[in-house]
Amino acid sequence: MLAMATFVGFAVLVTALIHLYLWKRLVRDTTRPGRWRRAGGVAALLLALLVPATMVGTRNGSYWLAWPGYLWLALMFYLLVLLLVLEVPVAVAKLVLRRRERAATGAAGEPAPVPAGGTGRADTATTGNVAEPAATGPTATSPVALAEPPAAPVEVGSAEPPVAGDSGPRAAGGRPDHDPSRRLLLARGAAIFAGLTAAGVTGYGVRTAMGPPRLDRVRIPLARLPRSMDGLRIATVSDIHLGPLRGRAHTERIVAMINRLDADLVAVVGDLVDGSVAELGAAAEPLRDLRSRYGSFFVTGNHEYYSGVEEWVREVDRLGLRVLQNERQEIRARGGVLDLAGVNDVTAAGTGLAAPADYAAALGDRDPSRPVVLLAHQPVAAHEAAKFGVDLQLSGHTHGGQMVPFNLLVKLQQPVVSGLGEVDGTKVYVTNGAGFWGPPVRVGAPPQVTLVELRAP
């Protein structure tokens, strides 16, 4: 409970700081004090409150919050990324403008050149604010001088004519202030660019996430695979994520896609749901129609432990999928034998709801001449699996990063983010998953169903 409270508190703090930054760049820097700035502040506050409201509300059945809340979460993410990237060029542009203004100030403050042979004295003499021609020839008291018409008087206190090169109001010391209109224009340009780009990327991501999964085919050689089993095919899917934005039609589309592959095995590697059996049982029902030669298998993901794992294990079993909970199944096909093992998700250890991942129970005491394929939701499980000589691990969990550049952060936790990799001698294939979590957005990581074809040496 303490760990959950700490996480929630940290998430709220981060959300508040992000929205404060967005308010500064999108509202304060782009508006003058007044009604529009106040309206922008209110909007930023409401959007900040929408994020935790969505996270909590959708878990409690308030599905109407899902679309506005999760879409804003995606827009917020891309606005943050773009504005942070723009900080450097905007800072450079401000520096250039400042130097130009200083250069203009220096040019305006230089004294006028003195003509050759001159005395360095002004051509005109002034008394107060009244300008008179300087005396030449006869003395100033001569009648000729008195006959000269005086210059037109200038009203005392009148403004002096602007000095050439002075482009704005003068600050203390005679230096002009930085032009606020230029800074405002620069801030608005950056905000408009970030806003339009974030909206475009998010729109593309929604179209990708809500579209049909892409079918990928991958051939993976296994050193111990019997030649008689060469070409054994495993239809692999993960992270279906039935929930507020994905229902029965999503499951039906995935099942139809897998059935067209005519696979030997079907592997569903976790994160099937984001809700209880009562809420999503009907949406998962089409899984009973999965077809394969040697069976369909399931292992738990971390989201099952947030959604009533024991109920879902029973429900998935009722739908005809064999749930591998720290155990393995012999697959006898084409005159050969392969061990198919499965472990509970690593999240189970901290929940107390089910047995933690037990690699020894699933992989120990077996015939070492047989190849073994392990189903484990998270790629990080490969570090333990490799100790038992696992030939291939099939995983999901990462969503391929789901929203670039978030994939860069996923790499900090998982050894493989997407596709085929290797961990301590064990091959690991990570599928992007067929659904999404949170924002209905996928950028750089399309939804995926994979047909894994095992090849003998």
Report yes or no on 169 lying in a domain: no
Burial of 387 (0-12, 13-18, 19+ CB in 10 A): middle
Q: Are residues 256 and 196 in the same domain?
A: no
Report yes or no on 281 lying in a domain: yes
Rg value, the chain, Cα: 36
Report yes or no on 141 lying in a domain: no
Q: Are residues 323 and 188 in the same domain?
A: no
CATH number of the domain at 275, please: 3.60.21.10
What's the predicted TM-score (pTM) here?
0.81
In angstroms, rounded to a whole number, what is the distance separating the alpha carbons of residues 325 and 327? 5
The predicted-structure confidence for 218-256, as pLDDT tens digits, reads as follows 999 999 999 999 999 999 999 999 999 999 999 999 999
The predicted-structure confidence for 368-418, as pLDDT tens digits, reads as follows 999 999 999 999 999 999 999 999 999 999 999 999 999 999 999 999 999
Residue 93 vs residues 30, 100, 186: alpha-carbon distances, Å? 16, 11, 8
Q: Are residues 227 and 198 in the same domain?
A: no
User: SS3 of 451, please?
Assistant: strand
Q: Are residues 187 and 313 in the same domain?
A: no
Report yes or no on 116 lying in a domain: no
Q: Are residues 242 and 381 in the same domain?
A: yes
SS3 string, 274-309, reads CCCHHHHHHHHHHHHHCCCCCCEEEECCHHHHHCCH
The predicted-structure confidence for 15-42, as pLDDT tens digits, reads as follows 999 999 999 999 999 999 999 999 999 9
In angstroms, rounded to a whole number, what is the distance separating the alpha carbons of residues 394 and 410? 17
Does the structure show a pLDDT above 50 at 366?
yes
The overall average pLDDT reported for the chain is: 87
Report yes or no on 115 lying in a domain: no
Range of the domain at 360: 213-455
